[in-house]
Structure 1
């Protein structure tokens, strides 16, 4: 059976809803952060829903302008190494969460791998592994313990020469949380935010007790499991759609901080947690530590449920 879904992603929102006559379902979509963001909400006034959705997308776009490592003008890319720098309030929230999860996962989630990320993107594009000396240099420039984040003063110090941040493993989840907050404030609590492999869920659709979410990991055609969730988040990380074959070996888009290359052991992890900021970061970390340690790591760090799968 093929399930209809809102977007193609690691998690899919199944379009199964009973809508009361006075409330309608509205869907708004926009490309953002190298994926597609979508807002599904329920309400009576389409114009009000669109206005709220526009404000929610604007909140996500602000995160992208601040934390994108694709734009040389972003606040993230303008951080100098070797100098303590005060950051904006939104960036401060994101950095606080990033280094908090780096500590909780003992570096399995590491926000300081910007040099490696750019190097690995080039390898995925050219299908050629980086030379050992260049890989070593990029790997040596990272390490979350060599960045000092001071929450009291909102300052960040990148201690190593050439160190760069990469918040791609948490920024989409953080943006989804901000978007849901905007929608709820505008009166649309029955909302789901889809941000690539991350879902942030509010109150359930009218006539239902929960949102039905399909967890899609290794099966291209349909979810392996359907869960019912409300007022929480779920993120799935894996290499179902993003991988590269180089020299006869399959590499994930998820970086292993220890090697500086994409993961080679196939794994898919779905993390359910109170917020998408948490689930996004932990899903990445879980893939890095592997199937034997993933569940324990995530539950200790704030997840409420962890589903780990490997290819049959």
Structure 2
């Protein structure tokens, strides 16, 4: 199997732009590629309709404030996964940072940003004890209530959930092995096999080929991607919920292998927030991870890269 990051577009491979990144779809049976792509596109569209915070017509954007509301099964699942991620990471991956993202200028798709020019200096934010967080969002089945002063951003988990869901749908409906990569979120499903994945920080940067079993997943979170200029400096999209500012770039990338993409993504995102403390956390939990520091030093934990 060719490396997924350098795959040619053959009869078994498709790729296209989505959500400011690249979707790469690989199937074992080339005859099933058109149908597989249709399944993936449909699922990604369903997720986009449910939780795209940049679309005023998305279900998430139309949630009324502080009122119990029945939502679609898709949005309910996405919210449940986001709240589970927050609980598993003690709030390091918090879906209630929508306003903080907007305050830093991330109020539109990143493709509309420019890294040139400058406005005022980056404001120092003081967080009060009374700030709302993920624990104030209530979800019971398919009914949700969001406080009036909270705006949700499910970006930390929704893409990974979408990768998991779409890969499983392709495997279940077409009976073929499938790998789906949505940027740094890689999900596999279907008959037993091994998939080779290139984990890299970019050309000339630390790189490694790892093997994923069928049903395995890999997620890479980065402080180097999704950057834009705010004031006189560049900022990135992984915020520390304690300061509401970008996490210190102790790690430039963290990659985690797990049984699901959302599990891997949750851990890799939390690691960027926790900085050096992530190594001890990963070691204690047996997480298989690859952490690349700001100076390019590579540290691994668990069974990586087995």
> Normalized against structure 2, the TM-score is what?
0.81
Contact 1:127 1:244 in 2 (8 A): no
Given that 1:114 and 1:164 are in contact with CA atoms closer than 8 Å, whether structure 2 keeps it comes out as: yes
Partner-residue secondary structure (3-state), 2:174: coil
Structure 2 residue runs of 5 or longer lacking an equivalent are 108-112, 296-306
Separation in structure 1 between the aligned mates of residue 7 and residue 186 of structure 2, nearest angstrom: 14
1:30 matched to 2:16: yes
Number of the residue aligned with 2:273: 288
Q: Mark the CA change 1:109 to 1:156 in structure 2 (over 3 Å): closer, same or farther.
A: same
Which whole-Å CA distance do the structure 2 matches of 1:59 and 1:122 have between them? 25
User: CA–CA distance in 1 between the matches of 2:122 and 2:129?
Assistant: 12
| Aligned pairs (5 A) from 1:32-181 | 32-45=18-31, 48-122=32-106, 128-129=120-121, 131=123, 142-151=132-141, 154-159=142-147, 161-181=148-168
Cα displacement (A) at 1:234: 0.5
* Structure 1 gap segments, 5+ residues each: 7-11, 17-23
| Per-residue CA distance 1:158-189 (angstroms, 9 max, x = gap) | 22x32110000111111111111121023253
Offset from partner CA, 1:56-106 (integer Å, 9 cap, x none): 211111101111001011111111221121211111111111111111111
1:19 is aligned to: none
DSSP 3-state at the match of 1:282: helix
- Distance of 1:112 and 1:246 partners within structure 2: 21
Aligned residue pair count: 283
Structure 1 distance, partners of 2:19, 2:89, is: 24
For the residue of structure 1 that corresponds to 2:12, the secondary structure is: strand
Q: Do the aligned residues in 2 keep the contact of 1:214 with 1:224 (CA within 8 Å)?
A: yes
Q: Judging changes above 3 Å, is the alpha-carbon distance between structure 1 residues 113 and 84 closer, same or farther for their aligned structure 2 residues?
A: same
**Separation in 2 of the partners of 1:127 and 1:266?**
26
After TM superposition, give the deviation of residue 265 of structure 1 in Å: 2.6
Alignment of 1:291-306 (within 5 A): 291-294=276-279, 296=281, 300=285, 304-306=287-289
Report the TM-score, using the length of structure 1 for normalisation: 0.79
Match of 1:183 in 2: 170
Q: Tell me how far apart the structure 1 counterparts of residues 264 and 241 of structure 2 sit (CA, whole Å).
A: 19
Give the match's secondary structure for 1:278: helix
1:265 pairs with one of 243, 249, 254: 249
Higher relative contact order (CA 8 A, sep 6+): 1
The CA deviation at 1:40 is 1.2
> Which residue number in structure 2 is paired with residue 311 of structure 1?
294
SS at match of 1:170: helix
Please, what is the CA RMSD of the aligned residues?
A: 3.0
The answer to whether the aligner puts 1:252 opposite 2:197 as a matched pair is no
Q: Pick from 191, 210, 216: which aligns with 1:232?
A: 216
User: Counterpart of 1:199?
Assistant: 186
**Counterparts of 1:298 and 1:170, CA distance in 2:** 23
